[in-house]
Amino acid sequence: MDDITPPRILINDMTQVSDYCVGSLHQELEEAWGSEGSTNEWNKKWQSALSKAYDNVDKACVKDLSGGSTAVVVLISPCQIIAANCGDSRAILCRGFYTIPLTADHKPYRQDENERIVRSGGLVIPDTWGLLRVDGVLAMTRAIGDGSMKPYVSAVPEVTFTTRTDEDECLIMASDGLWDVMSTELVGTMATSMLRHEREFPSTNEKPTQRVAKYLFKEALARSSSDNFSVIIVDLKRQP
């Protein structure tokens, strides 16, 4: 992992599970990577290591803790961005004037997720307001923990690999409290424009990424976001 920056990990939901994930997921990933052995198949090695890390953390949570949590992990190398996701938090890449999703939300309205749940013996049921839920309870189809919803709610992460370019501006990771009220494209446009301005005309002692994160937080509240949420922004122009 020498040429990889430390993993950026976004955990959401204020539960015992989220606290455990914060303290253990990066350690599990490091151990899983070390156990993979030598191989030239870089992507397969990362896919396997990430899956093992998520699985180990999930098993510990199901055994000892209540509740559940989403989890997004992003690793950045000089030539590639690796993103793993379990749940409905999201990671996006701002490249030039474009916004590229690095993850896909795990929601019951996804046909592949719906079919997987039914195959495992679960049901997807709309609630009073028409929102689809797993067994009428959970509005997402994958999560770490949530032992009462196993095996329908999976902890297997989806992993993507994206080649980096010189046009990459920034990386944004956020939980659904942001995405519920702002589109991927809008968030990407706002963040890119503000970062460019902050790089050229720094206005305070704060890092540009901190100012952008605070701005997105305030904007989401102004748009009546009712959920707790977290935001992580990485300025890729400042990466070595």
Rounded to 5°, angle at Cα 87 from 42 and 71: 60
Averaged over 212-230, what is the pLDDT?
91
Output phi, psi for 95, to 5 deg: -125, 110
Residue type, 205: N
Residue type, 130: G
If we measure between CA atoms, which residue out of 197, 21, 173 comes closest to residue 88?
Answer: 173
Asked whether 149 and 134 are in contact (CB, 8 A), the reply is yes
Q: Does some domain include residue 133?
A: no
Confidence of residue 159 (pLDDT cuts 50, 70, 90): very high
Q: Please provide the size of the chain in residues.
A: 240
Residue type, 147: G
Domain encompassing residue 42:
8-106+142-238
Q: Does some domain include residue 88?
A: yes
Q: Does some domain include residue 160?
A: yes
Q: What is the pLDDT of residues 30-49, one digit of tens each?
A: 999 988 776 678 899 999 99
Q: Does some domain include residue 131?
A: no
Q: Does some domain include residue 81?
A: yes
CATH of the domain at 75: 3.60.40.10
Q: What is the pLDDT of residues 109-154, one digit of tens each?
A: 999 999 999 999 999 999 999 999 999 999 999 999 999 999 999 9
Residue the block writes with tokens 């990990």: 9
Q: Does some domain include residue 149?
A: yes
* 204-210, Cβ contacts within 8 angstroms, sequence gap of 24 or more: 207/235, 208/235, 209/170, 209/233, 209/234, 209/235
Confidence of residue 14 (pLDDT cuts 50, 70, 90): low
What total number of domains does the chain contain? 1
The dihedral region occupied by 119, where left means phi > 0, alpha psi between -120 and 50, and beta the remainder, is alpha
For residues 69 and 106, what is the distance between their CA atoms, to the nearest angstrom? 12
Q: Does some domain include residue 176?
A: yes
Sign of the CA dihedral with 229 first, then 130, 183, and 167 last: positive
For residues 123 and 21, what is the distance between their CA atoms, to the nearest angstrom? 27
- Predicted pLDDT at 240: 47
Q: Does some domain include residue 38?
A: yes
Q: What is the pLDDT of residues 57-109, one digit of tens each?
A: 999 999 999 899 999 999 999 999 999 999 999 999 999 989 999 999 999 99
Which residues, 6+ apart, have CB-to-CB distance to 106 below 8 Å?
85, 86, 87, 88, 113, 140, 141, 142, 143, 158
Residues 77, 82, 87, 93: what is their CA dihedral angle, to the nearest 10 degrees?
80
